[in-house]
Chains A and B, each alone.
Chain A
Amino acid sequence: MATRLSRGGGRARPAGSGGFELFSWYFFRISGLALVFLAVFHVIIMHVINTVDEIDHAFVVDRWSSPFWQIYDFLLLTLALLHGVNGARVSIDDYFRSSSWRLAAYSALSLITLVFLVMGALAIVTFDPSQFEAVAGR
C-alpha cells in the first residue's frame, strides 16, 4: 500500500547538467544530417559507381592522394563514430542504474572510441602508399 503522501514542492531542483546534454542533442541533429549525405555518397561511390571488385590498392592510393577525400573520409569516420557513441552513451545513461557500473561502461566506451578514432585517423592521415607495395603485389 502506498502510504507516502505528497512531497509538497515536487522533485529537487536540477543540478544544471543541461549544457552538455543540449550540445549532445544538437550534435545528434547536425551529425545525423551530415551523415545522410556523407554516407549515401560513400555508398554510391564505393558500391554503385565502383564495385568491391574494382576497389583495390591502386584505387585507395588514388583516392587518398586527394586532400578532399581524406577530409571526406575523416569526417565520415569521426561523425559516424561519435554519433553512434553518443547514442550508446545515452543508452548507458538510461539503462545502467548503478553509478559504479555506469562509470565502468562510460570508461569502456570512451576507451574504445579513442582507440577507433586514433586508429582510423592515423590510417587516413598517415597513409603512405610506398609501405604497402609489397602487400599489394607490386
Chain B
Amino acid sequence: MRVDVRILRYNPEVDTKPHYENYVVDQEPTDKVLDVLNTIKWYQDGTLSYRRSCAHGVCGSDAMRINGRNALACKLLVQDAGSSITIEPLLGFDVVKDLIVDMEDFWDGYKSIQPFLINNDPPPSGRERIQTPEEREIFDDTTKCIMCAACTTACPITWTNPDFIGPAAIVNAHRFIYDSRDKGGEERLEILNDRNGVWRCRTVFNCTDACPRGIKVTRAIEQVKRTLLYNS
C-alpha cells in the first residue's frame, strides 16, 4: 500500500529549527512503522536518523511520536497507523538529530531510584532467594518495563518540568519497593517522597495510555503514593 510519511527532521549542524519532510513509500499493510523508516533510510534518504535495535518491541530503542501518540515504531503496524503517517521525536527532551532525543535526564531519573536489588543478607545456603507467586504478583506488572521513555515523554508534567523524576523511574522503583527479596524499599520511598518525585504526578493517565507494554503506570504510581501515606 502507498503510505505518505511526514517526518519532523532536524540536523543541528545545518538547521536552525526542525522542519517536516515528506516521503512516499510502498509497504505491506502488515509491515511495521519501523520498516517504513528503514525503507526511507535505505532507499530514499540515508541522512534520516533514528534509534532502533532489536526491532521486536523488547529493547525500547525506537519509541517516537507516531500520528501524535507515543509508540514503538517496531510494534505499530502500517495498517493500524494508516496510509498517512506523521512521525516526530519524543516530546520533552532535546533533539540530538531527527528522531533521536537526548535521554540523559531520563537515565538520571532512573539511576536515582537505585534500580538494582539491595539486600546485604546472604542468600539461603545452597539456593537462590525464593518468593511465592503471590509475592511476585504484587510487582509483576512493573517488571515489564523496557525503558523506552514512551510514558515519561507522554507526561505533560515532563514537558514543562525537567526536574520531575518521571513515570518510568517510579515504575522501576515500584519493581523493587514491592519485591519481597529487596531491602532498599524505605530508601527508595524516601527518594520518591519529594515534590519532584511521586507528588509531581497529577494522575493524568497519559503514561498508562502510552506504555507499549501495557503497564498500568498510573496505578503503580498511586500504589507508591498510598504506601507513603500509610507509612507517614
A50: chain B residues at CB < 8 Å are none
The reply to whether A10 and B111 form a contact with Cβ atoms under 8 Å apart is yes
The reply to whether A14 and B107 form a contact with Cβ atoms under 8 Å apart is no
Please report the total number of A residues contacting B with Cβ < 8 Å.
26
The reply to whether B193 and A18 form a contact with Cβ atoms under 8 Å apart is yes
**Residue in A7, A9, A21, A26 whose Cβ sees the most chain B Cβ within 10 Å:** A21
The reply to whether A17 and B195 form a contact with Cβ atoms under 8 Å apart is yes
A2-B102, A10-B111 given; A21·B160 CB < 8 A = no
Please report which residues of chain A, range 34-90, place their CB below 8 angstroms from some CB of chain B when the two chains form the complex.
90
- Whether a CB of chain A sits under 8 angstroms from the CB of B76 is no
The reply to whether A11 and B229 form a contact with Cβ atoms under 8 Å apart is no
The reply to whether A11 and B112 form a contact with Cβ atoms under 8 Å apart is yes
The reply to whether A2 and B104 form a contact with Cβ atoms under 8 Å apart is yes
- Whether a CB of chain A sits under 8 angstroms from the CB of B197 is yes
Please report which residues of chain A, range 1-45, place their CB below 8 angstroms from some CB of chain B when the two chains form the complex.
1-2, 4, 6-11, 13-19, 21-22, 24-26
The reply to whether B197 and A95 form a contact with Cβ atoms under 8 Å apart is no
Please report which residues of chain B, range 92-151, place their CB below 8 angstroms from some CB of chain A when the two chains form the complex.
94, 96-97, 102, 104, 107-113
B94: chain A residues at CB < 8 Å are 2
The reply to whether A94 and B199 form a contact with Cβ atoms under 8 Å apart is no
B165: chain A residues at CB < 8 Å are 11
Return the CB mask of B188-226 against A: 1 if under 8 Å, else 0.
001101111101101000000000000000000000010
Which residues of A are in contact with B by a Cβ distance under 8 Å?
A: 1-2, 4, 6-11, 13-19, 21-22, 24-26, 90, 93-95, 97
Instruction: Determine which of A10, A18, A26, A97 lies in contact with B195 in the assembled complex, contact meaning CB atoms within 8 Å.
Output: A18
Chain B, residue nearest A14 (CB): B194
Which residues of B are in contact with A by a Cβ distance under 8 Å?
A: 12-13, 94, 96-97, 102, 104, 107-113, 157, 160-161, 165, 190-191, 193-197, 199-200, 202, 225, 228-229, 232
For residue A26, give the distance in angstroms from its CB to the closest CB of chain B.
6
> What are 22 A-B contacts with C-beta separation under 8 Å?
A1-B12, A1-B13, A1-B96, A2-B96, A2-B102, A6-B107, A9-B111, A10-B110, A10-B113, A11-B108, A11-B109, A14-B191, A14-B194, A14-B196, A14-B197, A15-B194, A17-B195, A18-B190, A18-B193, A22-B229, A94-B161, A97-B161
Chain A, residue nearest B102 (CB): A2
The reply to whether A22 and B195 form a contact with Cβ atoms under 8 Å apart is no
A8: chain B residues at CB < 8 Å are 111
A19: chain B residues at CB < 8 Å are 193, 232
The reply to whether B107 and A22 form a contact with Cβ atoms under 8 Å apart is no
The reply to whether A22 and B111 form a contact with Cβ atoms under 8 Å apart is no
Chain B, residue nearest A7 (CB): B108
- List 15 other contacts, CB 8 Å, given A10-B110, A18-B195, A24-B199: A1-B12, A2-B102, A10-B108, A10-B109, A10-B111, A11-B109, A13-B112, A14-B193, A14-B197, A16-B193, A22-B229, A26-B229, A94-B161, A94-B200, A94-B202
* Assembled-state Cα–Cα distance A95/B107 (Å): 23
B199: chain A residues at CB < 8 Å are 18, 21-22, 24-25
* Assembled-state Cα–Cα distance A115/B12 (Å): 51
